[in-house]
Structure 1
């Protein structure tokens, strides 16, 4: 079983531009690309996990999103190993059904772990909001909150406590390498 770095897209891997699928507006967050390179060399699989309610709300098509992700992944070297996304809106906001893949639920991580034989206790979830942390905790990963201003609600709860909170990817890199099991 392999360890993985599960990483959120908007606000974590790339600058958050709400509902963006325009490749011209894509900008990686400071330190993200270097972080992924170091994690790949350390033996981690790189897996993007992202809520994409814009698809369900009709703000962009699934094809436009996957084209955008393909472009983003081409800019990375090495690229991401896998991409998992939830195309559902928040329950009730558009009449959509309740799913288990929308973070803070752990469905994306659990599916990736099953399909790719990932060891969740040896893996990390990194995100910029507590929903990301909660998804990682529920899946049994170690968690890091990239506290870069993305979290605005700060809703408390035992599953929403990150194992570590950092301001920069370099700090996350040091923590992960120091705590590699």
Structure 2
């Protein structure tokens, strides 16, 4: 394991639907410490986030970039930040659960998808990781459906515990 990819909304920060306001960004409990541990272990980090608000006309790419910048101000720099601007009906290859963003993040980080672990809060995150050949850890929130929890290969109750899974996987490979 050489890289940990994170979903943004609901995983790293509290989910504010179609958020285009950096002032509304609030990290989830333990996010800063979890990311500090990942970085201290020498693992690359990336954010992979669906932002259909762009396709729906509710957000501009600039607003998404501003929110992503605020996430990095609060949680430290990521080696890559990717977003999918498409809507569910657009048929793109990047929108999770499709694997495109995971594959693109791996390329940007200079690692293979098999060397990545994606941490997310819904089934689409898990599906995207698995479709790309990466590992996945689900951290359920109140919006996570029970069938998504049942289908996930690894489920943990917190971001801190998801990072423990990633660090253990990194130690396995070294």
- TM-score over 0.5 for the pair: yes
Task: Work out the number of aligned pairs and report it.
Answer: 171
Hey, which of these two has a bigger chunk of helix by percent? 2
What is aligned with 1:89? 87
The CA distance in 1 between the partners of 2:148 and 2:154, in whole Å, is 17
Is the 8 Å Cα contact of residues 12 and 28 (structure 2) preserved in structure 1? yes
In structure 1, distance between residues paired with 2:19 and 2:159: 23
Contact 1:128 1:149 survives alignment (8 Å): no
For 1:3, the equivalent position in structure 2 comes to 2
Structure 2 counterpart of 1:174: 164
**Pair 1:138 & 2:141 matched:** no
SS class of match (1:143): strand
How far is 1:121 from its partner? Answer: 1.6
Following superposition, the deviation at residue 153 of structure 1 comes to 6.7
The 1:164/1:155 distance shift into structure 2, 3 A limit, reads: closer
Corresponding residue SS for 2:53: helix
SS in 2 for 1:55: coil
Structure 1's 30 and 137: CA in aligned 2 closer, same or farther, altered over 3 A?
Answer: same
Distance 2:153 2:145 in 1: 19
Q: Distance in 1 between matches of 2:157 and 2:40?
A: 23
| Partner in structure 2 of residue 46 of structure 1 | 45
- Correspondence 1:48-87 to 2 at 5 A: 48-77=47-76, 79-87=77-85
> Deviation of residue 90 (structure 1)?
0.7
Show structure 2 runs of 5+ residues with no match. Answer: none
1:165 corresponding residue in structure 2: 155
Q: CA RMSD in A?
A: 1.8
Q: TM-score, normalised by structure 2?
A: 0.91
Instruction: Give the whole-Å Cα distance in 2 for the aligned partners of 1:73 and 1:51.
Output: 17
CA contact (8 A) 2:106 2:112 kept: yes
TM-score of the two chains, using structure 1 as the length reference: 0.87
